[in-house]
Structure 1
Amino acid sequence: MLLVSFRFPLYPFPSYPYPIPMWRIIRYTIYTIGGVVLGGIVFEVVTLPRVSELRDQNPATTSMIEARIREARNSGIEPRRVQIWVPLERISPQLQRAVIAGEDTNFATHHGFDYEAIQHAWDQAQKEADKEAKREGENDSWLPNLPDFKRGASTISQQLAKNLYLSSQRSFARKGQEAIITYFMERSLSKHRILELYLNVIEWGDGIYGAEAASQYYFHKPAANLNAREAAFLSAMIPNPRTIFNPQVNPKRVARRQRIILRLMPGVRMPQGTG
């Protein structure tokens, strides 16, 4: 038997005569991270809902409504949905003003994001509410430390983006989606239309969605006929209408926030074409 052996020359691995400069490592790292982030943004943009369709189409449902329906069915309860769409012109200017006063005082001027201003407004309102509670002889925190409630610092546009399209999951990915949707919403829709959508889809109690349904449920009148006190009452409920600011569960807490909103309403700047 003939045995043949082969010998291959062994070449050393190439080596750099000098160490790689740190600036080059940093640059490559930035490029890599930037590429990943850009790829994620492109993916999100491609898969985003077409918010431009909201210019002249009302959504048939929302992520919030569908989540409430699932919750009810999982509990063996028949879900309730009361919602009556109306144009902004048929919603009291007092309610428009009260909601902006309570949720997003710079709505007319910002471009979708206003974290510091909203956080400051929440802090000031909480201090005033706590003072009123003490004068009434109660030690009732305006925002109790409950695990199912988080204090908001979102604009009306951000709240609408989340309400329409996103889950309530807390994550950086969801906040990123919210920011992108908000950006395109502000570019595609007028403030008039954003406020109109918002006032027709937000939750105002168990199975109560939108200003018209809320006005009929709580005051037995059309939303167009709400006065300032009634408008401030409904606005006071918005952060958590089913528990913390539910007037049937915490009437005094709702009343305190109502009074704060009434004081803020005269100074609110309204967007062009709204109340």
Structure 2
Amino acid sequence: MTVSVAQKRADFRKLHESGCFVLPNPWDLGSARLLESLGFKALASTSAGFAWSTARPDYGLSCDDVVNHLHVLCAGSDLPVNADYENGFADDPQGVAANVRRAVDAGVAGLSIENRSSDKAKPLYDNVLAVERIKAARAAIDSDRSGAVLVARCEGFLVGEADLDATIARLVAFAQAGADCLYAPGLRTKEQIATVVKAVAPKPVNVLVGGAPGFSVAELAELGVRRVSVGGALARTAWGGFMRAAKEIAEHGTFSEFSNGYPGGDLQKVFAQRG
């Protein structure tokens, strides 16, 4: 690594001040290095992508697993890394704070905390507890003046509560609790996105693009979105190519899908640059 953690955090904060940037989501160091070679300015981890690479489902990882993974990504890339940190791997604020400090110590430039609970019967945290969790994360980040960016997420649209007013109320409360950036995955329309951007302004908004209906970066920028992430979509795309080729071999005994693979020589060039 040639860029210091402090510099990566400063660069990451600067990205949130104006314009619109994309945070592609690598799932291992190889995919991180490839994305870095394409000129992206920052990266975000993906809990789903990393979990699948270890033969586990999304939300099947421990805090230790993720922290170790973040150490690898942060140490192996010169780009700022935002951690997909699930719910902080704890329900109580004190546990969230302790685990946030672990992520900061791993070198992340930012991290996202979900308000999706571990209780399937009640998938979102009570509003008061949700705010206390963000306050605890904020205090943990500020305890050593790390400068890491805190992203607060509201998963209402992912767990069956497609209530824009309720989502906005939570995001506004999270902003007031100290979140630097707000994120409501699952928004589907330009009107929803624009309403969220306006409601939490001047705080920046992250939008997830994982498939249809898709928006271009230019379209999201016009709506005032500051940053765009893709979650596990790149990992799913990679697995898609793998499975198509493997199924062709298993079912037909042919190998034509190999022609769609990325050139090995080009991969060699990227990975030989830093060893």
User: What TM-score does the superposition give when structure 2 sets the normalisation length?
Assistant: 0.24
Structure with the bigger RCO (C-alpha within 8 Å, sep 6+) is 1
Of Structure 1 and Structure 2, the greater helix share is in 1
- Structure with bigger gyration radius: 1
User: What TM-score does the superposition give when structure 1 sets the normalisation length?
Assistant: 0.24
Of Structure 1 and Structure 2, the greater strand share is in 2
